[in-house]
Each structure stands twice: as structure tokens, then as C-alpha cells.
Structure 1
């Protein structure tokens, strides 16, 4: 049960009027074991099945049990002992049992619209082998098999799949047998450890298989036939990842097998089906893509779920953070182990960026949230990065040893079972000896986050530093947070460290020092979940950027300097770009230089391209050059796009930035590269996005052509998204309306994004229909959000847009003026 606190902040913008509190269903039976025989009719996208379910009544008041079974044709229901009666209403099979213990036999068939997906050859991929794969989360496996479809249910499972000869079938657990019968290849899989039904999985197709053993665990990697040479780069760190988690958690990998299966057209990046993760084939890549692309984060995240999500599962969807937030943090901790502290902190910073984008652009909600319409709505940046950052803060608060022991005890206490937020809190309290109610109240049961403003004042006569910290968070957050904070004060080669506890809306801290500090850094390791702003000059920020050793402080400085602009900011950012030893800081410096939009900054970016080889930094520089529209930037970007030695994603960024030049003659130049082979069509996508930025009738004609069904999904999606750059064009609205009914999930996602980009009333009919009728809940929600945003924008009127554009123009003029003044001052100082 979730405690409802009198001071709870329910958030902003997440719920709609009809939303209600949702609670787990009451089941009056438990399943002891489930056996499914399944026949696949791949060409007709159909199935037939026989489910054998060992059921035990647990409610003596009734003999009726209900199984979730959506849009199936139920041929018969029988039992041993026999059942008394049954009926089917299209979503549930209601069965009157004749005994407390019954083995049910449910024979059925159907053509699932979701839960089980049939991927056949298409115009875009005529030679692709057919595949079948399932996706059960949240409650979609009941579209292809009758069961109790809720995460609170756990039982053992086996499946016998009849697939066409030559097909490989992968499922949960261990392979019992494989044999040929007539026209069928028959695969029998069994997992004798209880697990939740949304984790049941099958994949059928023609695959290349790679097997290796690690510490007694069979590691299996399946890739589409002919893709074997790409498997190593994606999966080679799997043993290292499993070894790290087993040691960090002091809980060995709990199963005998771990398979990873890359499939076509998967609707997510990956799904942690127990012992058999399904991944998108988009993660497979070649050596050139490996320059600035990695499967490691995806592989690490899905592997972490084998402990958190599979071994221990959230009791109900409001507690999904127990699966997702913990996996997010474990993924980041593997980054620390594999690549070091700088990479780890940069991952935390980017997680914060992801959360803040959702917070600012969409909504704020408590992480533990019971009011929703679709359970999939809870799979957002609150449950993933925000929760991971809060857990990282908990790790710092109670200490890493206590945190690790807490995770271990939680796993042992709830292994092969389910748990909720209070179970986790109490476990962490047991191992740490601390009361953590205040922590969970603040960060899990309330929306928003702390927002701090820091002001520094040095008094030379008393040798005292006064640090004023204000909590300035808005109404969607608690008015005051209790926050532990570390403070570093830098004085020459000396760093003084302090620990404070913030508990007031505004606090002043006084530090006795021997000399004026060079600078102060609050929370240098980014352990406390919060945003922070300072009142500082460009010179103060420059000292931090160029002299501090903490990635968090340096990146805050780079971003601040990009907003301040001026000569000193550009000098410091240029030096950081060229000399910083960590690529993440260099990336931030490049972005910041682009934000200043000054001639000096452009020169720095162009110079850097001649000196820096790191592809991620080069990519950021190309993106930043999109803010400049002169000949020098244009020529450099053209050269990069044409250079086969550049990475795919650097060339992609160059193509997009070229489009931002808005030069009509660049259309033909961009089109030279639209068919260049690249990982996930990245260069083609760069060209299409560049054409969207470029504008014009020729670009529009190309975008319409590439949105058609004879193009690959990623290419179509990029073309559709770029159509959002063409407001007021009837042909755009017409094609978006047609594509809103496309069978491809990603295409319909792109339609919503394009409509949101257009922000015109003509798109409302499209979005309203999708919000009402789309098969996928997440698309219904995103379409509704986009329509709501457009309506609010229309209420504000066009004056708001004009005012914002004028403000941006004035800001840019002020930046340029400040740069000139700074340059004049420096010249005068030099002459003096």
C-alpha cells in the first residue's frame, strides 16, 4: 500500500480528467505451471494453440476463474477434473471449475494484432527472411495466449513451438528438445523458475547462432542470417557485464542460459524477457559505426533486468521504477567499471538532461504514480533516468557498501517473487540503519525536483566566504527539500571539502578561509539530484572550465559560458575544446560555441576540425556549425559529408547542418549522398533531415517520395519527421493523414512527431483520431499530448511566437555587441 502524504505533490500535466487510480486485479486462483503448444502460420500471420494450465483455487467463495485472452477465438475449454461451464467475452475466458486443483486445456486460434508480431518480406526488404517475435510488456501476451496477464503473477512455463522447417525458435529457459515432424520444426523450451507472464517470449526465424560459455552459463547470440560478422561488436562485452553484476550484487546470474536475439522491426531497443532478451537488429553494426556507436548500454541495461525485473519483479506497474530505475543505475555503474569515472558522471548528466526535457516539455509526476490510463504511460523519463539519479543519490547517502548490501538483501528476500516500493525502502533501512522515509517521501512519492540558486560573496577583511543557497523550485515540487551537499572550495593547489545539509528555503553558510577562493563547486561529483544555477561572471566560469578536475563542474561551466557569450567565454570554450582530456567536455564546449553564434566561435570550431579526431567531438562540431550560414562553414561541412573516412554519424551531422544553411543550390549536393550505405541508413537520414531544414519544393517532393512504404522504416520515419518543417502545405497534411493508419509502429510515431512540429490546427483531426483509435497505447498518449499542446499554442496566438522570435534576435545582437566590446577592451589593454 502507498501512503498518501498530506504534503504530496501530484505533479503537472500528466493526467487527464478521466484518469483514475488503478490497483492490481484480484485473482481468485494461482497458476502452478503453464504449458503451451503453439503452431505458427507465418504467411497468414495466424496462430493456433493448446494451453495446459495447472490451476489452484485460492478463494473458497467461488469456483469461477477468469483468464485474460484478448481477441482470440476460443475453440474449447476442458479440464481434469472436468470443468462445469465456461464462456468467453472477447477479453476474458470465465471458467467454472469442478475442483480446487484443475488442469485446464484451452484450445484456441487467432490472428494477434499485438503481443505477437509477424515480420514478412516487404517492398523495402524483399529478400528478408520472415520472423515472428513476441512483446509482452506491459500486458500484451494475452493477445496470443490465455493467461493471468499481470506482473504480480509468477509461475513456471514451458512452450512447444511448431515452426516451418529450417526455422530456429528461441524461448525462455533451457532447450528440452528439437525435432522435425512432417512439415514442422518442433522446439520445446522450459523454465522451471517462476517468472511473470509479460516476460514469456518466443522468437522464430532464420538466424546465425554464436554460443560461448561463461562461468557455467550458456551465452547465446542470435542474429539474422548473414549478419554474423556484426555480432561480436554488439555482444562481446556480455561476459564482462554479467561478471560485473554478479560481483557488484554478490548474487550470481540466476539462470543457466542467457540468450540475446536481434530481430527486425522490433518496437523498442530491447526487452528483458527472462533468459532470452529480444533486441532490435538496429544495434548490430560494423567497424566504422563502432567509432561512435556502441551496443554496450543496451546490452548492459537488458542484462541488469535479469536480476531487477525478472528475478524480482515490481508488484504492480506504479512500482515499475524498481525494474527500470535500478537497471538504469546498474548500467551506468557498469560504465564506471568499464570506462571510468568521467564517463559515468557524463552518463548521469545526460540522464538529467533527458529527465528535464520531459519535465519542461511535458509533465511532472511522482515516480510512484497510481493515477494513469495506460500502464505504458509510466515507462518514461521519470521511471528511467530520474529514478536512476535518485538511486545514485541514495548510494552516496548511505554509502556504496550499504547500498550494495541493500540490493543483495532485496534480491535474496524477494527472489522469484514480486515487491513494491515500501519493500525496497524497508530493505535499505535494514542494512543502512537509517530512517529513509523522508528520502522516499521527497523523491518517490512527490513530483518535481530541488532547484538551487547559489550566490557567493567574499569578504576580504574577515577572510570569510558567504555562500547563500536558495531553493527556487516551482509549485510542482516540494517547497523545501532536505538535501545533503558536498562543497569544494578551490584555492590555488588546495581544495577544501565541506559537507552541509540543506533544510531551509534559503540558507547562508560561512567558511573561514586563508585567502580568496578561486571558485566554489557545489556537489562536484553530481551525487545530489537537483538543478543548480549560479550568479557568476564569464571569468569565474572560465576558471572552473579550464582548471577544475570534476566533469560535472566543467560541464556546468561550458553550458553557462555558451549562454553568456563574449570574448572571454569564447576563449575559454575554445581552449577547452582543443585541450580537454575528456571527449564529453569537448562536446559540451563545441555545443556552447555554436550557441554564441559569433564569428570568433565559428573560427574556433573550424580550427578544431583540423585538429580533433574523436568522432563524437567532430559530430558535435558539425552540429554547432549549423548555427552559421557563411561560406566557410558551408565548405567545411561539404568536405566532411563527402569524406568516406569520416564516421557515418559525423557525416550525418554534416548533412543536417548543411540543410540549415538554407541555400537552394545545396539540394543537388545533398542528393549526391542520399543513397550512401551506412549503419541504420544514418547518412540517408542525415540528408533527409537536411532537406527538411533546407526547405523548398524539390526537397518536399523528395521527402514525400521517401516516406512511401517501399523505403526502410528508419528512412520513412526520418522523411516523415522532416515533413513537419512544411506548415500550410495541403499535400503534407494529406500524406500524414494517410500514414497515421500505417501498420508500422515507428511510422505512426513519426506522424505524431511531425504533427507536433507543424503546430498547426490542420493536424488536430489526425492527432485526435490517433489518440482515440491507435492500437498502441503509447502512440495514443503521445498523439493526445501533441494535440493538447497545439490547442494551448493556438490559445496563446501568433503574437507569442513573434515575441519569442524578436527576443531571440535581440539576444543574438547583444551577444555580438558584447563580443566586440570585449575585443576592443582587450586590444586597449594590450596597447596600455
Structure 2
């Protein structure tokens, strides 16, 4: 898994009015582009939208609006990352991808490498053992980006030749080999400060060098066939300065650790075949916590020592302490033993997200817990840890033969996270997780739809989207429902045993399921894995008391879209009816063989008390409408529905109702609902409505909610109110929260809520939370949120504070935090004049082109340059940024260019439009002046005639007497 650091965007055009603004503000929108007829487009942020369409302002605006939706991972949900404005699977750079041709297939990789962390250099030898795939094979191509001192030799051919273009080493042997012949190839090389793949620590982070490869980044420091279809055994000889006394970790088993002269030599052996993207080393000054053994296999955890955060053995235990239990859970689930000789996990600040390297799993430093953050974030951290562990089977033991089949690892691992919640906390937690999975999946399908299995993409990283994770997990869940829980997991176990140590495609998985179950699954896979979209349903209910009484429930599929290639689905949807108090009936509506609608009629003597669609969350669908149900039924479901799904349905319907009674019921449920996740959802819906009658309940809950996981959602909702009591509560929470050592995320949420007030009086408060390390604790949420709050102030004083905290030589803040600071600068100067925006542009431009700046900072600078393209030309800087970026980031940088081009075109268009408008106004003014002069002359003439008619004298000797009605010229 690669955890989410990525945002997606979408453009939609619709009429804009004051009534729709609040809805827009709660859809995770970051910016709006106003397209006024006959005018230039204007990019505005949502906070500015609040100002324009406040209740005191004009209720309408004659324009359309292009909304840019942004969905982000939990820890980055408040950063304004606008990365892609196009569907990455249909733009001009997306092409079909296939496995590489391999005349000589690598079977073993021996690495003998020396690492110098201070000079950011690695050099040594990579020895490939390769086997001829067919008679006459004599060539091998190795991915190798920006290497120096490249030399190729072979004990099997003294005259082997090679060419190297900075990207690929093409090796040609003198004579062809016979099929099955084994050859060795030595590649000597050096890499200094690689763009990606191998990450060296920076000042303040500690002292380490670690690798991070998914999807195709091993090539930036290793000469390899950088594709998952190639799996080899691996031996590591890792050389480090003895004086530094570094811990050197790698995949597999520790063979030896010796010190000779001034060099420490650590040897590891990976006997299990492993693709390049799962190869891993982690070398540095680490603290270590032992997690015991499982079936004789060591479990241990590591984190940097001497870094910005003084992690302890206790922190490691809090973070990874459930690992042994998780391994036991997984082995019981898939009936297959852990396939690796050890299970080590480490965390540090240079990597992004989490990565399932075989036997040596890596984590972003964000995942590290301490006593202050555990109650708030342990739930999400555990989800990721069990996700990465699941990859030991799904992705590591059985490897996807190509990236297009990656759902076989990511969708499975995501489903396992939900299964873990089920195992630990019960069915409500399971259903809540599925509900969140569907929400984020639907958010992405508003932007684009693609098949889960899809060969056409620009970068292999593009396929690692929500389709792959949550959307695919839902489809596996439905397959489990279809086959039955026990049969499904036994069939999956058969697949894992049958395909162990192989590379697989989707059809291999299908065939193994069919072989084990006897089911024919072609149609299921065609519909759910090879086709686009998901069911979108409208439901209706009615009850007729005549003729003994009968109730009717109808469903209609509404997702059909020929342009997108989305059709109807064959689904069977259960619904549950409470026919009397505590008495339930379940029925099914089958929409099969292309049926768009279905209905079920039941004879009932009394009107039902509740109706719940899909009460066990068995079918992936978006229920957009439920007519005829009535508020009374939803109110009963809110408190009496026996499943999370029923109560969740009630929350949605009551929110849509918006009545006083519905609001009051939701406010009560915020206190009384038993499941913490649904309380989060209730708070979110109250925040969306932002009705003053429910604000007291939210404020009370912010200080009384017993579950730390719910508090950020409540504070986010409070922050949606533009009211002094909300502001007072947020300020109180920030001040008391710091003194009481409340969790980092809650304080950060309150800071962002205060930032929305845009009151400059909070400048010093936000600055202190950004710059004071004592207030940061061991988390990143507080300084990141303080930066966002400063950006929301939209004042140059705040911009100056942000700028002084961005300098690449300022190591007080972690790179990820400084990335947030850079994005906040883009937000802070949104409404500044041209001179200030140009100054901000030039400041960010330097960061974008600075090779010493950390990757999160350069990425943030690129996105901000695209936003500020009206203040300068970012073309050259973005070109330089692309040179400093890995291949899988190219599509992102192209999106920056597209956005910058639109902004530049808008600027040029604005200039031309203003010139044309000015000329037009001049002409209109001249014409108007002529008409006014003409009118004045007529009025003077009429006055003279009137006075003459009355016998008066002509008041002016040069006045021309004109009879009424006669034409006048001047």
C-alpha cells in the first residue's frame, strides 16, 4: 500500500446562488472558478465564497461555477492540494501498459554497497544472476536513473558491451546463450543524492538512509528490471562507517554483522523471491522495541533517534504493539502461515505513507503514536498496520504480474482492515468502515470512472486511487457475500497456497475461486472488475390501508451514462421492514438481466414502523433518494434500528429533511448514539446544515464527548458556524486544549476553525502554534493546522510569518509541515494586489527550483505556482521541477502546467477583454455625450418657444427660435 498523499479534482458547471453556497462549502471544495458570461474566469477559494454570499449580500449572481472537488487522506484533509484537473486514464498521455520483454530473466540479485549518509552517496556493485528464456537470448535492459561511474562486466563474457543513456543500461553479450543457461552480470556504479527511491535524512530528522520504492522507484539507486513481474532472491552486503555505529536493516534474515578497520559490514539474505518494489534497506541511528516472537520469527519495531521528535520505546510499543495479535488474526483468516523469516517495522520522516516491503515494513512518521495521540489516532494507525500486514500474503507472497491487477493486493488489504475492525469491535464497526469506504469511492467517481482492472494509464502510480483501494474492497466484500463467508475465505486460502511465490493476473484469481467453489464467476468479474461505475439507486415507499393493507418498496437504478460507459448492474438488494415493535421482515428486490427498476409488495395489516434499505451493507450502491418514507419512520430508525446501516440511513434522511424536529433529533443523537463513528457522521451533518439551533449541542459535545476519535468531527462542525459563540468555544478549546494536553488533531481542528473567522487578532496565537516546538508535541497536526489558519487570515502579515518558516535551511519544521506552509502562502495571497502576489510568486518559485528543498516542499511549490500564474510565468520553474521529480510524478507536474496555462490564458484574455471593453466604453460614452448635448439643445429651444408664446423676450441673443416639432441640428 502507498498511503494517500494525493488529491484529485473535478470540474462541474452549474448555476450558483446563495442557496447552493452552503452545500458547496461542505463538499470538501477548495476553490471555485466563476465563469461570468462575457467575462474572464476567476478562481476563488471557498472562504472567499462565504464572504461574497453571506446573508447580508446579494442573494444571487448571474454566472456559472466550476467546482473543484478535493478528497484527501485523513492527515492531509485540510491541505489545499490541487493536483489533477483531468481524468488520468483518458488524457493524451495515458497508454496501455504491458510486461517488459525478458530474453534474460534475473533470478538473483547480490548487492555489495557502501553508504555515506553525510555525502548522500551510495556506491558499489550489483550482481545479477540471469537465466536465458529462449535460445539465442543475449540482451538485458536494466532501469537505472542518473547513475555515474557505470561499468558492466561478466565472468561469462570478457567482451560484454553496454550503453547507458542516463535511464536504461542496455547490455549485449558477444554470443547468444542457449535456453536455460545461467549468466552473471556485474554492474559497478555510484549514485549521489538520488531523486527518489533512496531517501537520506535531513537536518532535524535524525541520521539515516532508507528506501521507498512503490511503484517504480528502485531504479533511482539500483540497476534492476523495475517491474513486479521480475522476482529474485537477494543478498545484501551493507557497508557503513564503523564510527557511526549504525543499525543496518534489510529484507530477509540477518547473516552476520562485523566491524573491520573503519567499516561495519552487515549481511542479510532474502531467500524468498521478491520484486524490486518490495526490496528495502533502512540504515541509521534507530531506537528499537522488541515485539516478541511468532512461531519463532522475530517481531521488532524501529524509529530514528536524535531527530526532531524524541521517540521512545514506549511510543513504538503504543504504535505497533498489536502486531503479534494481527499476525495471529491473519493466519486464522487465510489459513496460511506468515511467509517471512521475521516481521520488522520502522517509521521515519522521509517516506510517505506506508509500504509493505517484504519482512521490513516502512511507515511515515505520522503513524507514530504517543500517550497524547493514542486515543485519537490509534484506530486509524491500526487500520494501516493490519493493511500492510495483509500484504505479506496479498502482494508479497502472491505478486501481481502487472500494475493493472493491483486490486489483488490493495483491495484485499483494504478489506482486511474492515475485517480487523469486525474482529475487534463487532458488526457496527465493520459497517461503519464500509460506509466510509463507499463515501470516498463515490467522491472519486464524481471525477472519473474506470474499471478496477485497467491497463491504460499515464503512470503506474495513477492506478493507486480510490477505485483500487476502497471501491475494489467493496467488490471483494460483495463477492464474499455472494459465496458465503466461510466458502469465500477457504477459496481465498486455496488461491494463496496454489499461487504462492508466483506472479498472478486477475483471471488466475477467478479460476482458483471457480475451481474451489464450483461457481461460474465470469459474469461477476466482468461486471464488477472489468466494467465501470457502481449502482446509484432511488427508493420509494408507500402504504395503502385499503383492502387489508399492503406496503410497497421500489428501487430504480439511475447511474446509466452512455458517454462514460456506465450501464446497469445485476444486483439483489435486501430491505428490512419493522412490521410491529421489534418484529422485522426481510425481503429482496432483484434487478437482474438489465432491469432498471424493481418493486416488492407485501400484505401488512398495519403501517410499518421502519423500512431500511440494505440493512447489512451487502451491496455497493449510492442511495440518493428515498421518497415516501416520512420523517416519523426515520426518527424511529435513528434510535431503534438494530444495525448501523439503519441508523446511518436515518441520519442522512433527517439531514435532508432539515425540519426543526429532525435537527433536534440529530442533536440528541449526538449524545445518545452508541457508536462513535455514527456520532462523527451526525456531527458532520449538523455542521453541513449549520443551523444556529444545533450549535449549543455541538459546543457542549466538543467539551464532553468521551471518545477522542469523535472530537475533531465535532470541532469541524462548530467551525462551520459564523457565530461568536462558535468562535468563543473554539478559542477556549485551543487554549485549554494545550494546557490539558488534548490530542493533536483536535487542537489542530479548532485552530483551523478559528482561521475561518479571518480575524487578524489571532495572528500571534497561530504563529505561536506554528513556531513553538513545545506546542507541537510529537505530532504534525498542530503546526500544519496553524499554517492553514494563517493562510486563512489572508493578510500580508500572516504571509510574512509563513515565508519565514519555509526557508529550506530552516529545519525547525518537518518537510511535510513546510509543504503545508507553502500551500498556505498560496491561500494567504489570494486577495492581495499584483505586487504582493508577484512577491509571493517569486518566493515560491525559488523553492520549486531548489534541489536542496525536500520533495514535499517542491511539490507544494509547484501547485502554488500554478495557482499564482497570473503573477508571473511558472513555465521554466515547472520544467526544473520536473527534472527533480521521479517518473511517477510527471503526470502531476503536467497538471500543474495545465492549470498554469489556464491561468495565463485567463490573464491574457482578461487584458484583451479589458482593452476591448475600454474601447467599447469610450465609444458608448462619446455617443451618450452626443445624445445628451442634443437633448439639452432641444430643451433650450422648447424653453425659448414657450417664452415667446407667452410674450417674453429672448433671453439669449444667439438662441435660435424653433417651432415645436421641427428637427434640430447643431
TM-score, normalised to structure 1, is 0.89
Work out the CA distance in 1 between the residues paired with 2:871 and 2:234.
Answer: 50
Q: Is the 8 A contact 1:767 1:783 kept in 2?
A: no
The corresponding residue for 1:480 is 568
Q: 2:578 aligns with which of 475, 481, 490?
A: 490
Tell me by how many angstroms 1:764 deviates: 6.8
**CA 1:161–1:398 in 2, change beyond 3 Å: closer, same or farther?**
same
Q: Is the 8 A contact 2:534 2:620 kept in 1?
A: yes
The yes-or-no answer on 1:566 pairing with 2:662 is no
The corresponding residue for 1:727 is 830
Tell me by how many angstroms 1:83 deviates: 4.4
The corresponding residue for 2:107 is 32
Tell me by how many angstroms 1:270 deviates: 1.2
SS at match of 2:674: coil
The corresponding residue for 1:740 is 848
Give a deviation string over 1:737-778, Cα, whole Å, max 9, x none: 233234322223333554677796968748964785451345
Q: 2:792 aligns with which of 689, 693, 701?
A: 693
Work out the CA distance in 1 between the residues paired with 2:101 and 2:554.
Answer: 53
Moved more, 400-409 or 168-177: 400-409
Q: Is the 8 A contact 2:88 2:457 kept in 1?
A: no
Q: 1:419 aligns with which of 504, 509, 512?
A: 504
Work out the CA distance in 2 between the residues paired with 1:34 and 1:323.
Answer: 24
The corresponding residue for 1:749 is 859
Give a deviation string over 1:186-240, Cα, whole Å, max 9, x none: 0100011112122111111011222321222111211212522310111100001
SS at match of 1:106: strand
**CA 1:713–1:626 in 2, change beyond 3 Å: closer, same or farther?**
same
**CA 1:136–1:673 in 2, change beyond 3 Å: closer, same or farther?**
closer
The yes-or-no answer on 1:518 pairing with 2:597 is no
Q: 2:807 aligns with which of 703, 708, 720?
A: 708
Q: 1:640 aligns with which of 733, 736, 761?
A: 733
Work out the CA distance in 1 between the residues paired with 2:435 and 2:887.
Answer: 30
Q: 1:302 aligns with which of 388, 393, 403?
A: 388
Q: Is the 8 A contact 1:76 1:106 kept in 2?
A: yes
Give a deviation string over 1:794-827, Cα, whole Å, max 9, x none: 999999xxxxxxxxxxxxxxxxxxxxxxxxxxxx
The corresponding residue for 2:322 is 237
The corresponding residue for 2:599 is 508
Q: 1:289 aligns with which of 373, 380, 383?
A: 373
The yes-or-no answer on 1:218 pairing with 2:328 is no
Moved more, 517-526 or 753-762: 753-762
Moved more, 731-740 or 205-214: 731-740
Work out the CA distance in 1 between the residues paired with 2:869 and 2:683.
Answer: 30
Moved more, 236-245 or 443-452: 443-452
The corresponding residue for 2:13 is none
**CA 1:428–1:724 in 2, change beyond 3 Å: closer, same or farther?**
farther
Q: Is the 8 A contact 1:486 1:500 kept in 2?
A: yes
Work out the CA distance in 1 between the residues paired with 2:560 and 2:854.
Answer: 40
Q: 1:58 aligns with which of 133, 142, 158?
A: 133
**CA 1:682–1:500 in 2, change beyond 3 Å: closer, same or farther?**
same
SS at match of 1:679: coil
The corresponding residue for 1:387 is 472
Q: Is the 8 A contact 1:749 1:779 kept in 2?
A: no
Give a deviation string over 1:673-725, Cα, whole Å, max 9, x none: 33213232322222222222232222222222223321322321222222232
The corresponding residue for 2:753 is 657
Moved more, 281-290 or 471-480: 471-480
Q: Is the 8 A contact 1:367 1:446 kept in 2?
A: yes
Moved more, 781-790 or 519-528: 781-790
**CA 1:292–1:223 in 2, change beyond 3 Å: closer, same or farther?**
same
Q: Is the 8 A contact 1:39 1:162 kept in 2?
A: yes
The yes-or-no answer on 1:782 pairing with 2:895 is no
Q: Is the 8 A contact 1:771 1:781 kept in 2?
A: no
Tell me by how many angstroms 1:791 deviates: 7.0
The corresponding residue for 1:167 is 246
SS at match of 2:327: helix
The corresponding residue for 2:21 is none
Work out the CA distance in 1 between the residues paired with 2:871 and 2:603.
Answer: 61
Q: Which runs of 5+ in 1 are unaligned?
A: 1-10, 800-832
Work out the CA distance in 2 between the residues paired with 1:762 and 1:543.
Answer: 59
The yes-or-no answer on 1:71 pairing with 2:183 is no
SS at match of 1:627: coil
**CA 1:566–1:341 in 2, change beyond 3 Å: closer, same or farther?**
same
Work out the CA distance in 2 between the residues paired with 1:722 and 1:450.
Answer: 38
Work out the CA distance in 1 between the residues paired with 2:820 and 2:725.
Answer: 28
Work out the CA distance in 2 between the residues paired with 1:613 and 1:202.
Answer: 42
Work out the CA distance in 2 between the residues paired with 1:513 and 1:748.
Answer: 65
Give a deviation string over 1:85-122, Cα, whole Å, max 9, x none: 21122312313165532222222222252454342442
Work out the CA distance in 1 between the residues paired with 2:347 and 2:464.
Answer: 22
Moved more, 647-656 or 304-313: 647-656
Tell me by how many angstroms 1:538 deviates: 4.2
The yes-or-no answer on 1:403 pairing with 2:449 is no
Q: Is the 8 A contact 1:767 1:787 kept in 2?
A: no
The yes-or-no answer on 1:262 pairing with 2:350 is no
Moved more, 251-260 or 113-122: 113-122
Work out the CA distance in 2 between the residues paired with 1:12 and 1:538.
Answer: 40
* Equivalence map 1:776-815=2 (5 Å): 776-785=886-895, 788=898
The yes-or-no answer on 1:152 pairing with 2:233 is no
Matched residues, number: 783
Q: Is the 8 A contact 2:208 2:304 kept in 1?
A: no
Moved more, 714-723 or 187-196: 714-723
The yes-or-no answer on 1:627 pairing with 2:720 is yes
The yes-or-no answer on 1:280 pairing with 2:364 is yes
Work out the CA distance in 2 between the residues paired with 1:208 and 1:74.
Answer: 35
The yes-or-no answer on 1:547 pairing with 2:640 is yes
Q: 1:333 aligns with which of 405, 416, 419?
A: 419
Moved more, 536-545 or 191-200: 536-545
The corresponding residue for 1:324 is 410
TM-score, normalised to structure 2, is 0.77
Work out the CA distance in 2 between the residues paired with 1:542 and 1:740.
Answer: 54
**CA 1:612–1:135 in 2, change beyond 3 Å: closer, same or farther?**
closer
Larger Rg computed on CA atoms: 2
SS at match of 2:776: coil
The corresponding residue for 1:458 is 543
Tell me by how many angstroms 1:451 deviates: 0.6
Q: 1:343 aligns with which of 429, 447, 454?
A: 429
Work out the CA distance in 1 between the residues paired with 2:254 and 2:597.
Answer: 62
Q: Is the 8 A contact 2:227 2:276 kept in 1?
A: yes
Q: 2:273 aligns with which of 175, 194, 199?
A: 194
Give a deviation string over 1:314-358, Cα, whole Å, max 9, x none: 000111111111111112211211222222222222222222222
**CA 1:692–1:538 in 2, change beyond 3 Å: closer, same or farther?**
farther
Work out the CA distance in 1 between the residues paired with 2:784 and 2:170.
Answer: 47
**CA 1:116–1:49 in 2, change beyond 3 Å: closer, same or farther?**
farther
